[in-house]
Structure 1
Amino acid sequence: MSKAGIRVLSTLRQMIVSGELEAGQRIAEIPTAERLGVSRTPVRIAFRALEQEGLLIKLERRGYRVRKVTQDEVAGAVEVRGVLEGLAAMQAAERGLTAEQRRGLLDCLASGDALFAKGYVTEEDLEAYHDLNRRFHAIIVEASGNPAIGSAMQRNEHLPFASVSSLAIDRNNLEGEYRRFNFAHMQHHAVFDALDRGQGARAESIMREHANATLRYATIFTQQPDDGHPAVRVIGSSVELPDIGSS
């Protein structure tokens, strides 16, 4: 997917998770492209990807409707991903990394270090992180030597926010996103250390917790209400909003 496509996809995910696009709301290519200031092509691709992720429902005629997604549904999908990736990390640690896998993980860590070293992130930085994050996770699954894990993860990815690539980025709060993704990157360092030392139980524990970086950490690091307690976003609503038009 192109950089424009990744940007549109993550923007639409964020609009859904934040409630800016409400459950039941109808959306279409042309008005969405105009709203985001892009062509129709990346919007069309993003709509198809979001349909596969379980966030949009394709209508019989033109357009899509935002699917109602509950917090329990998202939490369950993320928990399953954490279990699968935790198992992959444990087996990779016990099996041992190949020289190529070790180099690949170290390359991801070095690229991430360079992104976060300046103390802030741009939209382009987060797009680059999307790519290196996906590669880091893929190497761990490969290193497990267990193809059943990859197959199970592919099935789970059809659930909302279950995919490692399903990052919802708040471009209106890049300071908070810096904290969130920098923390997630530090977890990458920790899991690599466990993998490199052959510490299976530790690697599994870190990866299971790391799954929370997808959504849970977004509320911890990016939203703090007046009372100082982490905000809880309600994902999905039965309230109908006006359509974003039709193409």
Structure 2
Amino acid sequence: MEETGRTTHTLAALMELRKRILNGDFPGGTRLFEVPLAETLQISRTPIREAMSRLAEEGLLDRLANGGFIVRSFTFADVMDAIELRGVLEGTAARLAAERGVEAEKLRQVEEVLSKLDACFGRTAGEVDFEAYSDLNARFHGLLVELSGSAVLQREIDRATRLPFASPSAFLSDRTNIDIFRQSLHVAQEQHRALAAAIGAREGTRAEFIAREHARIARRNLEYVMVENPDLILRVPGLALLNA
């Protein structure tokens, strides 16, 4: 019972600290101290320490040589590189899936997710269920990695997408319900279907190209925010950590 309680407190601390970091409450370079955080969150120091260790594994915090943690900051190039890396890794996963072949049942699961993604678009132009699309999009990308049959790729893609701005759903929260992002979802869904078709047809080179091109949608959305409309930075999870 005692262990369960500590796990619950660690999870609560983890979720709260992650939210505050991503919202920009703790800017990059901020040193986090256990005692003040424990008092603020009304959680003992051990779960706070464990939560900060988890956030360091996620890449949101850095460990200091003399102990403690500091909030990481990122450059625009860091974010672009992270998105590019995800595209390369997912492209490799798509190529392997196509080359190795995929069971009919797995392809049926992909088609089911794609049909549900189609249903996220309303009858009115520009109407999109962002919350449902975000969840289903994450499911599609998860299935894509599974189709490769590579535990190594699975591990590396998980690592690459821990940073919130590099995840496939970085621009899909309700807070980013912005016209240009809504428009990009139609292109993204067309690419989802083309990617699934290429894998089913065992066209490895084409599948890899589509997956890498698909990641570039996130790059274009990021450029729109950073270059054309920086007022939107706080509406995209994690971009508050950018060191402009």
User: Cα RMSD over matched residues?
Assistant: 4.2
Question: 1:236 offset after TM fit, Å?
Answer: 1.8
Q: Which has the higher contact order (CA 8 A, sep 6+)?
A: 1
Paired residues of 2:91 and 2:212 also in contact (CA < 8 A):
yes
Distance 1:139 1:181 in 2: 19
- Match in the other structure for 1:37: none
Size of the aligned set, in residue pairs, is 210
- Match in the other structure for 1:134: 138
- Per-residue deviation, residues 45-94 of structure 1 (Å, max 9, x unmatched): x9887654323458978xx8642111222222222221111011111112
Please tell me the residue identity of whatever aligns with 2:90. Answer: E
Alignment of 1:85 with 2:90, yes or no, is yes
Distance 1:93 1:77 in 2: 24
Residue of 210, 216, 228 corresponding to 1:212: 216
Residue of 168, 184, 189 corresponding to 2:188: 184
> Which structure is higher in helix share?
2
Please tell me the residue identity of whatever aligns with 1:132. Answer: L
SS in 2 for 1:115: coil
Please tell me the residue identity of whatever aligns with 2:88. Answer: V
5+ residue gaps, structure 1, are: 1-6, 33-45, 226-232, 239-247
SS in 1 for 2:185: helix
**Alpha-carbon spacing, 1:222–1:72, altered in 2? closer, same or farther (3 Å):** closer
Alignment of 1:174 with 2:216, yes or no, is no
- Match in the other structure for 2:102: 97
Paired residues of 1:120 and 1:175 also in contact (CA < 8 A):
no
Paired residues of 1:55 and 1:69 also in contact (CA < 8 A):
no
Question: 1:160 offset after TM fit, Å?
Answer: 5.8
Please tell me the residue identity of whatever aligns with 1:174. Answer: N
TM-score (norm 2): 0.65
Question: 1:142 offset after TM fit, Å?
Answer: 1.6
Paired residues of 1:157 and 1:163 also in contact (CA < 8 A):
yes
Distance 1:73 1:192 in 2: 30
- Match in the other structure for 1:237: 243
5+ residue gaps, structure 2, are: 1-14, 42-50, 230-238
Distance 1:236 1:201 in 2: 34
Distance 1:15 1:182 in 2: 28
Residue of 204, 222, 241 corresponding to 1:200: 204
Question: 1:237 offset after TM fit, Å?
Answer: 2.5
Distance 2:135 2:152 in 1: 23
Distance 1:49 1:181 in 2: 32
SS in 1 for 2:242: coil
**Alpha-carbon spacing, 1:26–1:183, altered in 2? closer, same or farther (3 Å):** farther
Paired residues of 1:23 and 1:67 also in contact (CA < 8 A):
yes
Alignment of 1:115 with 2:115, yes or no, is no
- Per-residue deviation, residues 111-130 of structure 1 (Å, max 9, x unmatched): 11110143312xxx322222
Residue of 56, 72, 75 corresponding to 2:80: 75
Paired residues of 2:99 and 2:202 also in contact (CA < 8 A):
yes
Distance 1:215 1:31 in 2: 37
TM-score (norm 1): 0.64
- Match in the other structure for 1:228: none
